[in-house]
Chains A and B, each alone.
Chain A
Amino acid sequence: MKDAFSGLSVVDATGSIAGNYCAKLLGSHGADVTMVEPVGGSPVRRWGPPGGRADGPEDAASPLFRHLNAGKRSVPVDVATDTGRRAARGIVEAADVVLYDQRAEDWLDPGPLAERAVVCRITDFPTAGRWAGWSGSEMIHQALSGVMYVTGSPDRQPLYGVGHRAYFAAGVSAYITVTSALLERGRSGRGQRTRTTVLESSAAMAQNFVTQYAYNRTFTTRRRYPGMLSILKCRDAWVILFALRHFDGLCETFDVPELLTDPRFVDPVVRGANWHLASDILAAAAARFTADELVDRGQRRKVSIEKVHSMADLLRSEQVRVRGMVVHDNGRTSLGPVFRSVVAS
């Protein structure tokens, strides 16, 4: 699978996390990826947690830039000049896949390219209609998607989450769009224009908000999660518990056998309605254990419970080590595969 796109040439003319992640996925499966960067470097070089320098070669850029763009060829182009624009057009005209955003629209003409290439415009918002001119960011998209509204405490402001998840969603969505168009090109011999927006990608991540309201004019709030979820403090760290099945195993895990016969929790329907009461009981019980103890007790009984891992926990994790998910090479770090082919034993 690592050579699935062997021989495919990709130009990433975006200055976005979404475009970079789409191109990363193509490159990690064998595509030859060239980034067209403005003079002074892509803005992504300066985003995310600190580390490295904003200018200079890839290995001096931010962890975010390196995470998204390791292994790509970078061509700085001054698209403010005629010479630069001609150079940029020369780079894209031979490509099989061209990713671009509104920053490239004054020099890139997708129409002719799309006769034989798959051309994908990746933008925060649609560039026409009522969204034209809107400025996006992670929190803006999480706010529009509905996910922010249901995240956090009911008596405090809603939370957007972390990082750039809406942009990663758009990156994978663009990858799905591009690869499906490549498959079709394999049959028809024709390219086409495609597009992905962060707006729609993050809306598609939402949990049935549209349908629930359409069905019965109700919507989820932060007052209560629609499931048996508990966030519990152990002696040393926090755990998250999701109690879908195996209630008897759960009671054993926390050493609270009295809950099994408690009429408030006797069947799934009343248990769900009263879960906030069960949570209080479990919170008291959790304080007697370490997080690892509780997770071990629970998972042995098929209870879905996990420690809230910190970055340090992940870097010490045997699961992460065995799977090769953190790779160190010459003082620099990268992550293992997003998905992988399983070789028959």
Chain B
Amino acid sequence: MSELASGSPTPQDIAGPLAGVQVVDFTSAWAGPMTTRSLAFLGATVIKIESPVTMDSWRGSVHGAAPERFPDLVPGERPYNRNSYFNTQNHDKLSVALNLKKPGATDVVYALAETSDVVIANFSPGVLDRLGLGHDRLSAINPRIITVEMPAFGSGGPMTHHVGMGMTMEAACGMTGLMGYGDGKPVPTGTAYMDPIGGLHGAAAVLTALVDRERTGVGQRIEVAQTEAAMHWIGDELIAAAEGGEPWEPRGNRVRDAAPHDAYPCAGTDEWVAIAVFDDDQWRGLCAEIGRDGLVDDPRFATSDVRWQNQDDLADVIGAWTSGQDKSAVAQRLQRAGVPAAPVQNGADIWGCPGLREIGFLATLDHPEAGTHDYPGLAYRLERTPGAVRRAAPRFGEHNDHVLREVLGFGAERVAELRASGAVADRPAS
């Protein structure tokens, strides 16, 4: 179901707004691949350079990974082509397996640089330069090239060379310290949330540089320090603290400006509904649904201030009502009554969510080794030049010949030499 006006897009329109943009992608894991996945979704050609020695960690190893990453829990003969983590973040990309330490490999990158618009990496600081692939070197080949690096921490400081992962970056940027049950122990987000934060800002940086290039005619080198970008997402807390405000102490799901505001138990094991009441109208709506005599007039809950103070009592009342009920049914009832509420969805719920399917958020893709499955989309909706999830993630080195022979125009002999030297690999090392 489309909310937008219908029309007849041209073939150029269908290709997406970034049709014609070519990206050389050295990224791995989540943040960088989410950036390049966003660009591919919007129509860019993304050529993913994969090392046969140290594969993208989200492919796992040649021996496999945790079984829950694989179709039917089976790693298979080539588990690195069947890993759900990799296959989620790398759809619509081309895979070229290059060992950058072998003769001829960097020449492949230099050849790609001649016709590419963007080179992107999430290596540790300095690695691209040491490989001879830094911005200075590549812009000498192509002055229009844009290089985007996504370190955990910005250059020039004492933490510049820190090894950063999603969870540790979240702690470092101040986010984790604002989360917890109020017993003194911090609670990090249950996913590596910093990674998609970095992924989004990486895409934003690439697009900004592409716009800037229209103005200047030349590319540039961009640094997206992931912890710095993420600090903006809690920027209000940091500004308040800097201006002498009282620091926020985590209190579970409780917040400054709403009560009740929490997750309440529902029927089943580990099933919850989130309910948030911000004003008296919503409070009255909640009371009407709970239907308990005297609740709406109970002086302990009559105003937002006293509701905030008496949240423990409120939790007992609401929890008694929600337990035994289906979380989605409760949420729907409350939403109809004007009360913000939602089932706390798990992976099964999201996959089966009719609302997400209805709006086309999920895409079904055929992968030659992983099979046919559903994948999540992205939130970029353009009417006339839409983006899309079109093709399954590439198998390791799947596009070696396509890129070398057809994109770069290398002859058969040169390609054979690259394979003989080990520069190009068709399978990962053991």
Nearest CB of B to A295, in Å: 8
- Residue in A6, A203, A225, A303 with the greatest tally of chain B CB atoms within 10 Å: A203
Do A309 and B174 form a contact, CB below 8 Å, given A160-B274, A211-B375, A326-B238? yes
Q: Mark B196-222, 1 if CB is under 8 A from A, else 0.
A: 110011011101111110110000111
With an 8 A cutoff between CB atoms, is B120 at the interface?
no
A210–B69 Cα distance when bound, in Å, is 12
- Would B359 and A129 count as touching, CB distance under 8 A? yes
| Chain A positions within 8 Å of B208 at CB level | 1, 4, 25, 29, 179, 339
Of residues 21 through 80 on chain B, the ones whose CB sits less than 8 Å from some CB of chain A are: 30, 38, 42, 57, 63, 66-73
With an 8 A cutoff between CB atoms, is B267 at the interface?
no
Nearest CB of B to A33, in Å: 15
Binds A, one of B96-104, B175-183, B402-410: B175-183
| Chain B positions within 8 Å of A218 at CB level | 68, 73, 347
Of residues 225 through 275 on chain B, the ones whose CB sits less than 8 Å from some CB of chain A are: 225, 228-229, 231-243, 245, 247-248, 250, 252-253, 255-258, 261-265, 270, 272-274
| Chain B positions within 8 Å of A150 at CB level | 190-191
With an 8 A cutoff between CB atoms, is B304 at the interface?
no
A180–B270 Cα distance when bound, in Å, is 41
| Chain B positions within 8 Å of A338 at CB level | 201, 204, 228-229, 232
Do A144 and B345 form a contact, CB below 8 Å, given A211-B84, A306-B162? yes
Do A238 and B186 form a contact, CB below 8 Å, given A133-B335, A211-B88, A311-B174? yes
Total inter-chain residue pairs, C-beta < 8 Å? 504
| Chain A positions within 8 Å of B138 at CB level | none
Do A128 and B257 form a contact, CB below 8 Å, given A51-B245, A323-B225, A339-B229? no
A309–B159 Cα distance when bound, in Å, is 13
| Chain B positions within 8 Å of A241 at CB level | 168
Closest chain B residue to A141, Cβ basis: B342
| Chain A positions within 8 Å of B221 at CB level | 341-342, 344
| Chain A positions within 8 Å of B385 at CB level | 181, 184, 192
Of residues 1 through 38 on chain A, the ones whose CB sits less than 8 Å from some CB of chain B are: 1, 3-6, 21, 25, 29
Nearest CB of A to B123, in Å: 13
Closest chain A residue to B223, Cβ basis: A342
The residue that B5 contacts in the complex, of A139, A193, A240, with Cβ under 8 A, is A193
A261–B355 Cα distance when bound, in Å, is 51
| Chain A positions within 8 Å of B240 at CB level | 48-51, 63, 311
Do A212 and B69 form a contact, CB below 8 Å, given A306-B162, A306-B168? yes
The residue that B239 contacts in the complex, of A175, A195, A334, with Cβ under 8 A, is A334
Do A221 and B189 form a contact, CB below 8 Å, given A63-B236, A211-B84? no
The residue that B338 contacts in the complex, of A51, A135, A160, A208, with Cβ under 8 A, is A135
- Would A137 and B276 count as touching, CB distance under 8 A? yes
| Chain B positions within 8 Å of A47 at CB level | 257
A121–B46 Cα distance when bound, in Å, is 28
- Would B379 and A196 count as touching, CB distance under 8 A? yes
Of residues 144 through 169 on chain B, the ones whose CB sits less than 8 Å from some CB of chain A are: 153-169
With an 8 A cutoff between CB atoms, is A84 at the interface?
no
- Would B380 and A196 count as touching, CB distance under 8 A? yes
- Would B70 and A215 count as touching, CB distance under 8 A? yes
| Chain B positions within 8 Å of A154 at CB level | 270
Closest chain B residue to A163, Cβ basis: B234
With an 8 A cutoff between CB atoms, is B288 at the interface?
no
- Would B5 and A111 count as touching, CB distance under 8 A? yes
Q: Mark A210-250, 1 if CB is under 8 A from B, else 0.
A: 11111111111110011101010100001111101000000
- Would A159 and B163 count as touching, CB distance under 8 A? no
Do A225 and B379 form a contact, CB below 8 Å, given A183-B210, A314-B238, A323-B154? no
With an 8 A cutoff between CB atoms, is B394 at the interface?
no
Q: List 7 additional A-B contacts (Cβ < 8 Å) besides A162-B178, A308-B177.
A: A129-B358, A135-B339, A162-B175, A200-B379, A208-B84, A211-B87, A299-B162
Q: Which 8 A-B pairs rank lowest in CB-CB distance, beginning with the nearest?
A: A219-B347, A150-B190, A311-B241, A151-B190, A4-B212, A64-B236, A184-B17, A49-B240
Q: List residues of A whose CB falls within 8 A of some B CB.
A: 1, 3-6, 21, 25, 29, 47-51, 62-64, 66-67, 111, 114, 126-131, 133-137, 139-154, 156-165, 168-170, 172-173, 175-177, 179-184, 186, 190, 192-197, 200-201, 203-222, 225-227, 229, 231, 233, 238-242, 244, 269, 272, 299, 302-315, 318-319, 322-323, 325-326, 328, 331-342, 344
